[in-house]
Amino acid sequence: MLLYSPRWLFLYPGLILLVTGAATMEWLLPGPRSIGQITLNVHSLLYAATAVLLGVQSITFALFTQTFAVKQGILPPARWSDWASRNLKMEGLLVTGIALIAAGLSGGIHAVSAWRSVHFGALDATYALRWVIPSALSLGLGGHMMLAGFFLSVLQIGE
């Protein structure tokens, strides 16, 4: 049953998670934000980053499911999956993954540099987490993109 509707099961929820998570991260990165008497800070930033990661994973699961279902003759090709199959190749996903990992490492180096500037002593946690959370997200997304590239190329064997 899960193969019959990858858009509603994976794609649309993934897009919602990705967009709301990314928008929330962008809103929270400069500093704490208040909505009425509620103040959102790095803890909310972490949840937003998790939404982005789950959103991207869900979107790639939609692509995997659609690719498999079409290959098995369960579903007809869809425009979005045809476009993705033509344009998302292992090499491109590997390059994207490497770029994301490099960005994550760069942010991590910045965070360690800031810690070094206080002689590896007490560091303002909210300042550090504003670097560490996006860096960790970038590392996770980079690894996911690389693995997704490998798996998608397996699903496309014989095309």
What confidence score (pLDDT) does residue 99 get?
Answer: 98
What confidence score (pLDDT) does residue 89 get?
Answer: 82
What confidence score (pLDDT) does residue 5 get?
Answer: 84
Q: pLDDT means per 10 residues in the chain (159 residues)? A: 82 97 97 95 97 97 89 84 79 95 96 91 90 97 96 83
- Tell me if the pTM is above 0.85: yes
Count of CB atoms situated within 10 Å of the CB of 153 = 15
> Which is nearest to 78 in space by CA: 66, 68, 88?
66
What confidence score (pLDDT) does residue 97 get?
Answer: 97
Residue 4 per-residue DSSP state: G
What confidence score (pLDDT) does residue 137 get?
Answer: 98
Which residues pair with residue 34 across a beta bridge? 39
Q: What residue spans define the domains of the chain?
A: 2-155
What confidence score (pLDDT) does residue 103 get?
Answer: 97
Residue 122 per-residue DSSP state: -
Contacts of residue 8, Cβ cutoff 8 Å, sequence gap at least 6: none
